[in-house]
């Protein structure tokens, strides 16, 4: 009987389709941590970072009323994210998500 050499679980995970899902999940967790650390506590419940793509922090807000405050924080948010991300961030994109408060 021929036995195959045992493979390390890390090798199996890297070769599987789950690897890309795991990498995206880890990246999303990094964005969420940075978002929570960079935002005033009273603003955090009303908005979230949905992605960072092509140098843009994508933000969803529960109401358009929060957009001016986020615009004032934009330089701080960009500077904070740039301290920790490999790819530089240069802008934010804010969109109102009416269902945001219902999903919380």
pLDDT tens digits in sequence order for the chain, 104 residues long = 667 776 677 776 666 666 777 788 888 899 899 999 999 999 989 999 999 999 999 999 999 999 999 999 999 999 999 999 888 999 999 999 988 765 55
> Is 69 within 8 Å of 36 (Cβ atoms)?
no
Between 67-84 and 18-38, two packed helices, what is the crossing angle to 10 degrees? 120
Task: Supply the CATH number for residue 39's domain.
Answer: 3.30.300
Domains: count for the chain:
1
pTM over 0.85: no
Range(s) of the domain holding residue 27: 9-103
Has residue 1 been placed in a domain?
A: no
> Is 34 within 8 Å of 80 (Cβ atoms)?
yes
Has residue 45 been placed in a domain?
A: yes
Has residue 71 been placed in a domain?
A: yes
Q: How many other CB atoms sit within 10 Å of the CB of residue 2?
A: 3
How far is residue 43's CA from residue 53's CA, in Å, rounded to a whole number? 23
Has residue 59 been placed in a domain?
A: yes
């Amino acid at each position: 009987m021929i036995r195959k050499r045992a493979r390390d679980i890390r090798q199996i995970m890297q070769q599987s389709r789950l690897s890309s899902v795991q990498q995206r999940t880890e990246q999303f967790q990094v964005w969420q941590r940075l978002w929570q650390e960079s935002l005033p506590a009273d603003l955090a419940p009303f908005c979230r970072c949905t992605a960072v793509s092509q140098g843009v922090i994508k933000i969803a807000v529960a109401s358009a009323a929060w957009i001016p405050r986020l615009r004032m924080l934009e330089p701080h948010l960009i500077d904070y994210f740039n301290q920790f991300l490999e790819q530089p961030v240069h802008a934010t994109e804010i969109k109102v998500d009416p269902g945001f408060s219902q999903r919380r």
